Chain A
């Protein structure tokens, strides 16, 4: 009887390679969950600027939380228009590898613009 061993072996090697490939590639994948809270579309900053974002870290299964973010919104209005929290696969991987000791998230905010009342000239 002809043995299927070589084909089974090749199949398993392929599966292993695929698994390893996925393992190495997956951290490179971009974010997989983005939660966004918005009110109005307007912000007082351009899109995609780094000074309205921060990476926060919690340690020891949440026992040590990151400090609260205080966005420098104009104090005359001091409202947020949006907050985006993003978790990437790398964040999950880090959390898994450290058994939950280190948890990271990207946070981006958008200050509502201070729109003074229309004056007249």
Chain B
């Protein structure tokens, strides 16, 4: 088979995700790797050739009746981003472009914005490399996950949320998408209410169509790779900022802390964290709790049995005496340690040992971050989780967060969870199926050992919230094996799900939709055909 410049076939028949929760079988001879084409006169030509390569792949898939899905760093705990057809490795696509004023929509400039606030990147660039490139330009991304190893397309597609309670998630930093959504179709998509691209930019991409539509954009920005290949992403960035950490290893679970949890109002915990008053230059950006459910005093009377609490202030000018967080310690547990613990938990079921195990390991999850000052990449750097791990995350309204926390702690008292919890707060996203959909979403993460015991606990947690009628959503890229069509419609509402399906049907014709459908979508009813009045040409 003769392949175009920048495309190579991969010999691969299965794919195990990074955290080793699953192995996805692949159809042999259907996987490919994209690289930046070589021998072309300039970077723009290389970019356009890659677009053509994406189109070649879709054509090849339609002609051979195979499914395809681009993969990022393979971090997802769920099979949301994989298919039993071919895997398209896009990780080498790391072209980036700064934007000149002439390439920006006039409305963007009229609104007082500058092209300096925009940065265009290919899908395979990792958050880590983006941070390096931007910091060198005295700029910063606006939000990231808790670590920065994902590709930008992978992070946004699965709803990576970070903890910016006054801003939002990674996908909320995106203002334009270049999507290859057919063998003869690739589009520039942005919001009608927030146009960013000027004609020179559009001309350079040589797209077949420009679509300015809020509903389509909001649907596509969190679509786990099912709206075609996202080739390029326009990020809105800002001047480099610094974060300063105020944290305490155990804060009593009192009404003051609950007020911080429900309203992001930190006035009641100011003294315990030594928080300064917000100023125009520095104000709270990030709020996080880490909870060991086996050592948690719900009455708030035992000061040693409260959660770890951290608030990061965002500074627009570098604070004096800033020293970056120290390097992580040299020792870490082995690659197979988690797998060994899984075997012990599954085969020997020493359930009474679980609290002891967690209590022993819990201090290692805490870093004494109080007083640290650093950039986004300093605080949210590379992860050191190795081997079999489990992580699930539910999104709840911040107003419900204390009640949900208390329910999970009560469930843990009934049957121990081999893990700990993290709670982070994120502003509501406009993304149609973004799981941070509450005015301020509290993302409650349940991180632990991959084991049957963990899966049972997660299922009990989801069922308990259902029984109590507490609205919640689930992270697309984390453990979510109970998701199906009815749960998704209950979590997002019929109108949101139908709007998302309508958008997908508008952008992709039927043969292309078949290429970008996977088992996860079929299980969740997100593969449905919706009759639209008139497909977008």
Contact = CB atoms under 8 A, between A and B. Distances in A.
Q: Do A and B bind each other?
A: yes
Interface of A: 29-32, 34, 40-51, 74-76, 86, 113-116, 118-121
B200 A50 contact: no
A47 B18 contact: yes
Contacts of A113: 91-92, 94, 124, 126, 129
B91 A44 contact: yes
Contacts of A120: 97-100
Contacts of B334: 34
Contact of A46 (B73, B201, B204, B335): B73
A48 B128 CA distance: 19
Which one of B75, B87, B94, B133 has the highest number of Cβ atoms from chain A below 10 Å of its Cβ?
B94
A118 B98 contact: yes
B211 interface: no
Contacts of A49: 12, 15, 74, 89
Contacts of B149: 41-42
Nearest to A115: B94
A34 B335 contact: yes
Nearest to B154: A46
Contact of A121 (B20, B36, B75, B99): B99
- Cβ-closest 6 pairs across A and B: A46-B74, A47-B18, A41-B382, A30-B336, A44-B92, A119-B43
Contacts of A76: 36, 38
Nearest to A86: B335
Nearest to B133: A118
Interface residues of B, number: 53
A50 B12 contact: yes
Which one of A42, A43, A116, A119 has the highest number of Cβ atoms from chain B below 10 Å of its Cβ?
A42
Contacts of A119: 42-44, 95-98
Contacts of A30: 335-336, 339-340
Nearest to A31: B336
Nearest to A119: B43
Interface in B31-89: 33, 35-36, 38, 42-44, 46, 71-75, 87, 89
A115 B96 CA distance: 9
A115 B129 CA distance: 9
14 contacts: A29-B340, A30-B336, A30-B339, A34-B336, A40-B128, A41-B128, A45-B89, A46-B89, A49-B12, A50-B13, A116-B43, A116-B95, A119-B96, A121-B204
Contact of A45 (B91, B95, B98, B120): B91
Interface string B92-122: 1011111110010000000000000000100
A49 B98 CA distance: 32
Interface of B: 10-18, 20, 33, 35-36, 38, 42-44, 46, 71-75, 87, 89, 91-92, 94-100, 103, 120, 124-126, 128-129, 133, 137, 149, 200-201, 204, 334-336, 339-340, 382
Nearest to B20: A48
B89 to A, nearest CB: 6
A81 B301 CA distance: 50
Which one of A49, A50, A74 has the highest number of Cβ atoms from chain B below 10 Å of its Cβ?
A49
Contact of B15 (A29, A44, A48, A121): A48
Contacts of B72: 46
A84 B13 CA distance: 22
Which one of A50, A51, A114, A121 has the highest number of Cβ atoms from chain B below 10 Å of its Cβ?
A121
A47 B89 contact: no
A116 B46 CA distance: 11
Contacts of B20: 48
A119 B119 CA distance: 10
Nearest to B147: A41
Given A116-B94, A121-B201, A47 B73 contact: yes
A61 to B, nearest CB: 28
Given A42-B126, A47-B74, A113-B92, 17 more contacts: A40-B128, A42-B128, A44-B91, A48-B18, A49-B89, A50-B14, A76-B36, A113-B129, A114-B94, A116-B43, A116-B94, A116-B95, A116-B96, A120-B99, A121-B44, A121-B99, A121-B201
B178 to A, nearest CB: 12
A45 B33 CA distance: 9
Contacts of B89: 45-46, 49
A106 to B, nearest CB: 11
A31 B129 contact: no
Nearest to A111: B92
Contact of B92 (A47, A50, A114, A118): A114
B75 A47 contact: yes
B306 to A, nearest CB: 33
Nearest to A47: B18
A121 B200 contact: yes
Contacts of B10: 51
Contacts of B124: 44, 113
B344 to A, nearest CB: 12
A31 B17 CA distance: 18
Contacts of A42: 126, 128-129, 149
A31 to B, nearest CB: 6
A26 to B, nearest CB: 13
A74 B92 contact: yes
Contacts of B73: 46-47
Contact of A118 (B13, B97, B201): B97
A47 B382 CA distance: 13
A43 B73 CA distance: 9
Nearest to B200: A121
Contacts of B94: 44, 113-116
Contacts of B200: 121
A70 B512 CA distance: 37
A81 to B, nearest CB: 11
